[in-house]
Amino acid sequence: MLPESDTLQQEEEIHLRDYLQVVLRRKWIIIAFLVVTVTIVAIKTFKATPIFKTSVQILIDKENPNVVSFEEVMSTGGLESTFIQTQLKIMESRSLARRVIKSLNLKESPEFKSDEKAKGFSISGLLSSLLKKKDSKNKSLKTDKIDEDSGLVSGYLSRLKAESIINSSLVNISFEGAHPDIIKTIANRHAKEYIEKNLEMRFAASQDAVEWLQKQLFEKKERVEKAENALQLYKEKKKIVSLEDRQNIIVQKLEELNSTLTSARTQRIGLETLYNQTKKYSGDPELIESIPEVMNNPLIQQLKKGHVGLRTEITKLSDKYGEKHPNMMRMMAEAKELESRINSEVNKIIRSIETDYKVAQSREKSLSDALEEQKRVALDLNRKAIAYGTLQREAEGERAMYDILLKRMKETDITGELKTSNIRIVDPAETPIVPIKPKKRLNILLAAVVGLALGVGLAFFLEYIDNTVKSPEDVERYLKTTLLGVLEKVKIPRSEKPVSLDILAHEMPKSTFAEAMRNVRTSIMLSSTDNPKKLLLVTSTQPGEGKTFVASNLAIMIAKTGKKTLLVDADFRKPRVHKVFDVDTLPGLSNHFIGESDLESIIKPTIVSNLSIVTCGLIPPNPSEMLGSHGMELFCKSVKERFDTVIFDTPPAITVTDAVVLSNIVNGVIYVIKSGEVTKDMVKRSILQLSGKKSEMLGVVMNSVDVSRGSYYHYYSRYYKYGYVYGDEEASKKNRKRKMADG
């Protein structure tokens, strides 16, 4: 199995070969288009009036506008190209063209009086004029009145071209025409008129700008006064002297209050924690005394120390004196006194903690209220500052715009009085010597390309609409039928001995045609090697395709192999076999069917050995019924026993049913197609009618093929190289002798 790439390559080669065959088949159409197109263009080119071209080069410096320079603020790199493109459009404007025409009186100039004759010829211009012809006619019908100078201006502009030079401020203004001196004057005048027009436009723009600026200044002055008055009234109403200083003071106070509040809140949180702890331990003296403020109190520590010492002394003396001893009682009283003082001091500390907590809480609230009040004052001041800033910016903006307009008005007024231009002529136009049109070589080359393209296009169009069977490739590709052989278009050579075309295979056995018939004979034999077909039917699609010609020569070639062959003329519509072999048509096949003649009497010998024929005989009124009758079956059975091969020449299959009826009796069908005569659909339909019968469709014989126009040309040319020509053996011997002498 071939790889996919090889298969695709093979298909592509097949398509390219098909395209080449189309070109070869229609080569005379292509050559005719090529010759006609080149001839017409060559005549037009050599008869055309030479066209010259001259150019004037100018320098355009970009000029900044003298009005309000918003462009300078918002300028980008694209403005430079936009400026140049604008100037190019002005150079090619109709108003500037009218100025030049009027100043030089070009209406009377020979350059424009002979406008049609002065136009150079080019193949591209010819094509464009053909395309625009219809459109111009439609436009002319719609126009009721045309300016008498519009045609002159249009003609002038069609010759003028302004082009900018890349990466520079230079511009070329070129003009074309048939008179070198005149177009030189026109180009230079056009540049000067452009400069003059630019100055006039600048002066007019300056005057308009001054008037506009004066009007804007008056309006802007009123707006400045209004904005400044509004700002002053607002300051008086809100009693604002220095808004920034007041804002700084308020911000400073906010920062101080915020810092103090944070410190007070921290202190309050600490006292609140201690206060909550004292409340929690209020029922347990020992836990109360564990509070750091109680434990760290110096007085309480001192009292506790004295109390501990006294209790120690009481413990020592209790065993010695007992509880009733005066000293013991005195010390016991002192111990109680110390305990009372300790509890009193602890309670004082607890009350002090509670008092400090409430004071801190009150102080925090006061600071928080003060901070909120200061924030309100700050927000109110900010609102005033916003309105104040808006009025102030509006006043400053109006004042700035007023100053800009005043400055620009003074600059514009001064600039408008200056008669300087930013445009200068660098190289004036010179008298051209060498014409630019017509370009003879280019025109002829383009004509050849266009003619070849049109010819090839027409060839492929004709090929597309031509649905006839023209080549063996059509048989294999579209009809899907076996190709038995190809018979080229026969041309009888001049000779002393007259030659019959119908039995050419017998009279010229060494010819290319005879060799082609041998190929057909071989193909038929190879198609039925296991079961040889004795009864063969030859038919075609329509009359005139050479079925009798093929049947006769095929019978001759089979008979030359030594086989007993019988050619039967079964065409009861238009019989021709008796004319081919120059015998009487009576008695014939129809006479045998009606019982007038026996089989022996209708079988007639011919000049070809082993070949006999049966003519048609009388033309019956019912040919189809006679061919499908029982008598025909008996006839076929009889001749099948006596002959090796029997060939029936029948009418065309698409017009009558004779061939279809007889195909039920014979063994094989041979279909003849004349190249370029019948459509593929007709052949398909006819072959389909014959394929469903008892007989086998052996294949197709292509007749009258022009081998010089297709891929079979090289196949047949080999015969000519070996000396096979349309002639006898003497001619072949002469050719061989001549070749040997040349060698």
Q: Are 460 and 143 in contact (CB under 8 A)?
A: no
Q: How far apart, in whole angstroms, are the C-alpha atoms of residue 224 and residue 97?
A: 48
The predicted structure's pLDDT at residue 743: 42
pLDDT of residue 420: 66
Alpha helices in 119-242, H assignment, sequence order? 123-142, 150-159, 180-238
**Contacts with 363 (C-beta within 8 Å, 6 or more apart), sequence order:** 264, 268
Give mean pLDDT in consecutive 10-residue pieces for the chain, a chain of 743 residues.
Answer: 43 62 81 89 87 92 54 46 86 92 88 58 52 49 52 90 89 92 92 89 73 71 72 64 60 74 77 70 63 68 69 71 71 74 72 76 78 72 66 71 71 60 88 87 90 88 80 79 86 62 84 89 82 89 90 93 93 90 90 89 92 91 88 91 93 88 90 88 86 79 76 44 39 46 45
DSSP 195-224: HHHHHHHHHHHHHHHHHHHHHHHHHHHHHH
**Separation of alpha carbons 598 and 614, rounded Å:** 12
Sheet holding 52-60, edge to edge: 160-164, 170-177, 52-60, 423-427
Do the strands 483-488 and 423-427 form a parallel or antiparallel pair, or are they unpaired?
unpaired
Query: 3-state SS of the chain: helix, strand, coil percent to 5?
Result: 65, 10, 25
Residue 548: what pLDDT? 92
For residue 612, what are its two tokens?
């006999």
Q: Among 161, 156, 148, which Cα is nearest to 115's?
A: 156
Secondary structure of residue 420 in the 3-state scheme: coil
d(CA 71, CA 153) in angstroms, rounded, equals 35
Cβ atoms within 10 Å of 543's Cβ, excluding its own: 13
Tell if the pTM clears 0.75, that is, is over it. no
Go through the domains of the chain in sequence order and give each one's CATH number: 243-381 (1.10.287), 469-742 (3.40.50.300)
Structure tokens at 79: 């403005």
| Edge-first strand listing for the sheet containing 696-705 | 483-488, 696-705, 668-674, 535-540, 645-649, 565-569, 611-614, 603-605
What integer pLDDT is reported at residue 93 of this predicted model?
Answer: 92
How many whole angstroms separate alpha carbon 437 and alpha carbon 555? 70
Closest C-alpha to 644, from 582, 522, 561, 546: 561
